[in-house]
Amino acid sequence: MSTPQHPTPQPTAPPWQAGGGPSSAGYTSPIPVVRTHLGHAIASEWTKIRSVRSTLWTLGVFVVLVVGIGVAVAALVSNSAAEPDYGDESPLSFGFFGVLLGIMCVITLGVLTTASEYGTGMIRTTMTACPSRARVLAAKSIVFFAVAFTVTFVSVLLVGLADVAMLGGARQPTGAEWLKATVGVSLYVALLGLISLLVGSVIRHSAGAITLMIALVLAPLVIALFMFSRALEWLRDGLFEYSIPNQLGVFYSTSLSDTGPSGWDPLWIAIGVTAVAFAGAAALLQRRDV
């Protein structure tokens, strides 16, 4: 004869599970649940880029180079002779030298915006918070482009106003020249930094991506300088015309050659290259593991 078994008392459910219905019906989270969108990703990337110390340093050096060199060159030209002859030269063209050096800072910041997250492991947190990788890349691109364009525009505008005021004997720039030397240059520099951001996303290594981008900026012009063979004349001319320093000079009407890109052509070229780079970076980001 077996001993009768008494039912084992069940543990009392915690207060947040009580109340009947689904197990979570009795608990209401104080955090509102909303459907995320691109605006949330942009807000997140804006918080990151403005809180990182490298952003302040790279953009600070950029402003010093652009404004300092641009004003210093104009002051040197203005004081070089008692009655300097500027000819048909626009005073805005003296801002070219500062921007040419300053783009190194924008390239560095663009690469660090993406590649540094792979070095620190922050990319895992980013992708966990926002699983849509294309949305993350788009948000980074939008925030970086807006920051780079704004800082560049303010810097080149200050240089332009200072140079025109200092070089009183030079002719007054036209409205089209003002537009190219401010908006055109700012768009071109921001796109160049955006390409650096996308290259950083592809390579995932800060030093490697920065080295590659600086080589793309300087190597074509340096290589062309040492091409003395007549058989390679076509290649030398192409490297001169489409090198980034020459395309940047087009906005200041200081192109190194009479052929090649002119007007707003460098901007259309940069937009095309950026679109291809974005498509490639987005495709690789979808296929790779973080």
Per-residue pLDDT tens digits for 45-65: 999 999 988 899 999 999 999
Residue 249 lies in domain: 38-287
Structural domain count, the chain: 1
Residue 17 lies in a domain: no
Residue 23 lies in a domain: no
In the chain, % of residues over pLDDT 70: 89
Helix (H) / strand (E) element for 281: namely helix 265-287
Residue 25 lies in a domain: no
Residue 8 lies in a domain: no
Q: Phi and psi for 131 in degrees, rounded to 5?
A: -65, -20
Residue 33 lies in a domain: no
Residue 20 lies in a domain: no
**pLDDT at residue 230 in the model:** 83
Residue 1 lies in a domain: no
Q: 205 near 114, Cβ under 8 Å?
A: no
Model confidence pLDDT, tens digit, residues 160-194: 999 999 887 788 899 999 999 999 999 999 999 99
List, in order, residues 6 or more apart from 290 with CB less than 8 Å away. Answer: 118, 123, 124, 127
The token pair that represents 93 in the structure block: 């063209």
Residues 27-37 as b or e (16 or more Cβ within 10 Å = b):
eeeeeeeeeee
Q: What is the CA radius of gyration of the chain?
A: 28
What is this structure's pTM? 0.86
Residue 126 lies in a domain: yes
List, in order, residues 6 or more apart from 54 with CB less than 8 Å away. Answer: 109, 112, 116
